[in-house]
Amino acid sequence: MSLQRYFVKRLLVMIPVLFGVSILTFSLTKMLPGSPVDYILQFQETTPGLREQLEAQYNLNEPVYVQYWLWLRDAMVLDFGDSLISDRSVSGAILRRLPKTLLLGGGGFLIAVTIGIPLGVLAAVNNGNTIDEASRVGALLGIATPNFWLGLMLLLVFSVQLGWFRVIPPDMPTLSLPMLKFVILPAITLGTASSALIMRLTRSSMVEELNKDYVRTAKAKGLSERTVIVKHVLRNSMVSVVTVAAIQVAFIVNGSVVIEQVFSWPGVGRMLIQAITQRDLPVLQAIVLMIAVTIVFVNLIADLLYSWLDPRIRY
C-alpha cells in the first residue's frame, strides 16, 4: 500500500472516531449538575413562563438525542450558538483567543522537542557516564516538578526579581515581538515535563538502537560517527519517540489550561475555566470538542510520521 492510500484509509477511519468523540463531549457536558437555565437566571426566582421560554430557546425541553443532533448539525459548520453569559458567538470568541493558545502550546511543544531530543541523543551517546547521570537527574526533576509551581517560581525569579519579563502579558497581537518574548516563560513551564519525558525516551530507544547490527554495518562503511548517529540511529529511534511526542501534545493541551491561569494568558484555557464555573454550556462543549478533535488529529499525524519513518509498518 502506498503512503497516499494509507493516508486516505486513516482519514476514513477518523469519521467514526470523531463521531464517538462528539457523543462523549456532548454527554459529558450534559452530565454536569445544575441546569444552565439556573445560571442564566442567576438562581433568582422567576415565573415558570420565563423558565420554559429559556428552555425552549436552548432546546432543553427536547429529548436528549434530539438535542445532540441539533447541536452536532450546527457544530459541523462550526456554529456553537451564543454564549449563555455574554450572548456573543461562541465560535467567534474561541477564534479570537485561539492564536494565543496555539502560540503557547506550540512554544511548549517546541521546547519539549528541541530540548528533549538533542539531550536524549547526548545522554545515549554518553551512556553510563557523568553526562548521562546528570541528564537522568535533570529529567527526574523535570518530571516531578508540578508545572504550576514551576510557573510561579519562574515568574517570581525572572519577572518579579530580575524584571526580565513582564508579569502579565502585554495587550498586543499574537505575533508581535513583546508577545513572543512574554511567551518564553509559560512555554518553558509547559514544555519542561514533556521535554524530560521525551529525553528519557529518546535516550533509551537510542541506546537500544546503538547496539543493533546495522550500526556496525554503517561504521564498517567508513561513515562518520555523526552520520551513523544522526542518519542511521536517530531515525530508527524516532519511531518510538513520535508516539510519545503525540501523547505529550495531549499533556500540553491539558497543561495549558492551568498555565494560562498562572500567567494570565488570554487564551482558550482560561475561557474554559470560566465556562465551567459559569456553566456556559455552549462554550464548554465547543472547547472540549475542539481539544478532543485536536488530539485525534495529532494522533493521525503521528501515525503518518510513524509510517514514513519506518517503512515496515505501513499496513
Partner 1 sequence: MSVTDEPLLSVDGLQTSFYTEEGEVKAVNDVSYQIDRGERFAVVGESGAGKSVTSLSLMRLIDDPGRVKGGDVTFRSTSAVATLARKFPEGVATENSPGYIHVTELRSESGAVGSDPGATVRDNPTDVATSLHDGSLHIEAGHVDVLDASEDAMRELRGNEIAMIFQDPHTALNPVYTVGEQIAEAIRKHLEMDDGAAKERAIEMLERVGIPDAEERYSDYPHEFSGGMQQRAVIAIALSCDPALIVADEPTTALDVTIEAQILDLLKELSNEEDVAVQLITHDLGVVAELCDSVMVMYAGKPVERSSVEELYYEPKHPYTVGLMSSIPRIGDDRERLDTVPGTMPDLVQLPSGCSFHPRCPYAEDACLEHEPPLVDVETGEPVEDPDPAVHSAACLEYTGELQDGVDFDVQIREDAATDGGESV
Residues 195, 188: Cα–Cα separation, whole Å: 10
Q: Minimum distance between the CB of residue 210 and partner 1, rounded to whole angstroms?
A: 9
Q: Which is nearer to partner 1, 97 or 232 (CB)?
A: 232
Neighbours of 34 (CB within 10 A): 9
SS3 249: helix
Q: Minimum distance between the CB of residue 198 and partner 1, rounded to whole angstroms?
A: 20
Interaction between residue 133 and partner 1 (CB under 8 A)? no
Q: Minimum distance between the CB of residue 219 and partner 1, rounded to whole angstroms?
A: 6
Q: Which is nearer to partner 1, 176 or 224 (CB)?
A: 224
Q: Minimum distance between the CB of residue 246 and partner 1, rounded to whole angstroms?
A: 19
Is the Cβ–Cβ distance between 279 and 84 less than 8 Å?
A: yes
Residues 19, 23: Cα–Cα separation, whole Å: 6
- Pull the grid cell for residue 223: 561513515
Site for partner 1 in 235-254 (CB under 8 A): 235-236, 239
Interaction between residue 9 and partner 1 (CB under 8 A)? no
Q: Which is nearer to partner 1, 34 or 128 (CB)?
A: 128
Range 257-260 contact pairs with CB under 8 angstroms and sequence separation of 24 or more: 258/147, 258/148, 259/104, 259/108, 259/147, 259/148, 259/151, 259/186, 259/189, 259/190, 260/101, 260/104, 260/186
Site for partner 1 in 208-237 (CB under 8 A): 212-214, 216-224, 232, 235-236
Closest by Cα among 120, 186, 116, 176 to 151: 186
- Pull the grid cell for residue 27: 454527554
Residues 192, 198: Cα–Cα separation, whole Å: 10
Q: Minimum distance between the CB of residue 193 and partner 1, rounded to whole angstroms?
A: 29
- Pull the grid cell for residue 103: 502560540
Q: Minimum distance between the CB of residue 247 and partner 1, rounded to whole angstroms?
A: 22
Phi, psi (degrees; rounded to nearest 5) at 163: 70, 25
Residue window 159-198: x/- pattern of binding to partner 1, with contact defined by CB under 8 A: ----------------------------------------
Planar angle of CA 161, 163, 165, nearest 5 degrees: 125
Count, residues near partner 1 per rule CB under 8 A: 20
Question: Among the candidate windows 54-62, 135-143, 166-174, 206-214, which touches partner 1 by CB under 8 A?
Answer: 206-214
Q: Minimum distance between the CB of residue 209 and partner 1, rounded to whole angstroms?
A: 10
Q: Minimum distance between the CB of residue 40 and partner 1, rounded to whole angstroms?
A: 57
Q: Which is nearer to partner 1, 276 or 309 (CB)?
A: 309
Interaction between residue 207 and partner 1 (CB under 8 A)? no
Which residue's C-alpha cell is 475542539?
Answer: 290
Interaction between residue 123 and partner 1 (CB under 8 A)? no
Task: Indicate the residue type of 48.
Answer: P
Neighbours of 192 (CB within 10 A): 25
Site for partner 1 in 292-311 (CB under 8 A): 309-311
- Residues at the interface with partner 1 (CB under 8 A): 212-214, 216-224, 232, 235-236, 239, 309-312
